[in-house]
Amino acid sequence: MIPTAWYLILAATLFVIGGAGVLLRRNVLIVLMSLELMLNSVTINLLAFGHVLQDLRGQIIAIFVIAITAAEVAVALGILVALLRNKNTLEVDELTVLKG
């Protein structure tokens, strides 16, 4: 059997990589993709603990995470298309409409 800690280490690695994408990249699309990566690493943790503790609730929460992610991506990409129509840019540092 695979030690549980291996899953946790993998999830932590993927989380840090996703965080790097969110914090450092300029393109909004890639920031959103990195967000997906971070959500997936959290789901790995949920399933690993659910597997070890023999508790199905881990899988239930993972299903809800996936459903909410689908909703989030639909709204985020809608906002992105509207943004591109108005501002004609995809770079994070040029989106300063809310700046006072």
Partner 1 sequence: MEREFFLLLSGVATASALLVIVARNPVHSALALVACLVQIAALYVLLGAPFLAVIQIFVYVGAVMVLFLFVIMMLDVRKESKRRYLKHALLPGVVVLVILSGELIVLLTQSTKLHAAMGPGQTITTQPSVEELSLLLFQDFLLPFEVASVILLVALIGAVVLARSEADVTPVRSRKNHGEVRR
Chain residues binding partner 1 by CB under 8 A are 1-10, 12-21, 23-27, 29-30, 32-34, 36-37, 40, 43-44, 47-48, 50-52, 54, 56-57, 59-60, 62-64, 66-75, 77-82, 84-85, 90-93
Residue with tokens 């990249």: 25
DSSP 8-state assignment for residue 94: G
- Say which residues have a Cβ less than 8 Å from residue 31's Cβ, sequence separation at least 6: 21, 22, 25, 92
Least spacing, CB of residue 99 vs partner 1, in Å: 15
Least spacing, CB of residue 97 vs partner 1, in Å: 15
Least spacing, CB of residue 2 vs partner 1, in Å: 5
Residues 27 and 92: their CA atoms lie apart, in Å, by 6
